[in-house]
Amino acid sequence: MQSQFLQEEIAPDFSTMPAFAQITQNGVAHSEKVHPTYEHMGSGREMTDDIFDETYREKEGPKPAIRYVWRNIILMAFLHVTALYALWYIPSAKPLTLMWAVLCFILGGLGVTAGAHRLWSHRSYKATLPLRIFLAIINSMAFQNDIYEWARDHRVHHKFSETDADPHNARRGFFFAHIGWLLVRKHPDVIEKGQKLDLSDLKADQVVMFQRRNYKTSVVLLCFLFPSLVPWYYWGEPFLSSFLLSILRYTATLNATWLVNSAAHMYGNRPYDRHINPRENHFVVFGALGEGFHNFHHTFPFDYSTSEFVSLILCAILAWPVTARKWPRRASWLEKSGLVMEATRLAENLFP
What is the percentage of the chain residues whose pLDDT exceeds 70?
73
Specify the higher pLDDT residue, 167 or 60: 167
What is the percentage of the chain residues whose pLDDT exceeds 90?
61
Taking phi over 0 as left and psi of -120 to 50 as alpha, with beta for the rest, 87 belongs to alpha
**Which H or E run includes 25?**
strand 20-25
**pLDDT at 173 > cutoff 90:** yes
**Which H or E run includes 341?**
strand 340-341
pLDDT in tens, 4-16: 322 223 233 333 2
Q: What is the mean pLDDT of residues 53-77?
A: 86
What is residue 231's predicted lDDT score, i.e. its pLDDT?
Answer: 98
Residue 192, SS3?
helix
Residue 8, SS3?
helix
pLDDT in tens, 19-34: 333 332 333 333 344 4
Angle at 327 between CA 130 and CA 312, to 5 degrees: 50
pTM value is 0.80
CA distance linking residue 223 with residue 251, whole number of Å: 11
Beta-strand relationship, 126-127 and 340-341: antiparallel
Which range has the worst mean pLDDT, 106-110, 250-254, 301-305? 301-305
Q: What is the mean pLDDT of residues 52-63?
A: 74
Q: How confident is the model at residue 307 (pLDDT cuts 50, 70, 90)?
A: confident
What is residue 180's predicted lDDT score, i.e. its pLDDT?
Answer: 97
Q: How confident is the model at residue 322 (pLDDT cuts 50, 70, 90)?
A: very low
Q: What is the mean pLDDT of residues 118-133?
A: 91
Residues 6+ apart with CB under 8 A from 196: none
Query: Which among 94, 76, 37 has a CA at the least distance from the CA of 230?
Result: 94
CA distance linking residue 114 with residue 120, whole number of Å: 9
Q: What is the mean pLDDT of residues 134-154?
A: 97
Specify the higher pLDDT residue, 63 or 76: 76
Count Cβ atoms within 10 A of the Cβ of residue 82 and give its class: 0-12 exposed, 13-18 middle, 19 or more buried. middle
Going from the C-alpha of 249 to that of each of 85, 101, 116, 178, 227, the distances in angstroms are 13, 6, 19, 18, 10
pLDDT in tens, 236-272: 999 999 999 999 999 999 999 999 999 999 999 999 8
| Dmax (CA) of the chain | 67
What is residue 266's predicted lDDT score, i.e. its pLDDT?
Answer: 96
Going from the C-alpha of 192 to that of each of 61, 189, 220, the distances in angstroms are 18, 5, 31
Backbone angles phi and psi of 332, in degrees to 5: -65, 160
What is residue 309's predicted lDDT score, i.e. its pLDDT?
Answer: 67
Q: What is the DSSP letter of 22?
A: E
What is residue 57's predicted lDDT score, i.e. its pLDDT?
Answer: 73
CA distance linking residue 66 with residue 169, whole number of Å: 14
Specify the higher pLDDT residue, 106 or 323: 106
Q: What is the mean pLDDT of residues 218-222?
A: 98
pLDDT in tens, 181-200: 999 999 999 999 999 999 99
What is the rounded (10 degree) CA torsion for 313, 317, 318, 319? 90
Q: To the nearest whole number, what is the mean pLDDT of the chain?
A: 80
- Taking the CA atoms of the chain, what radius of gyration do you get in angstroms? 21
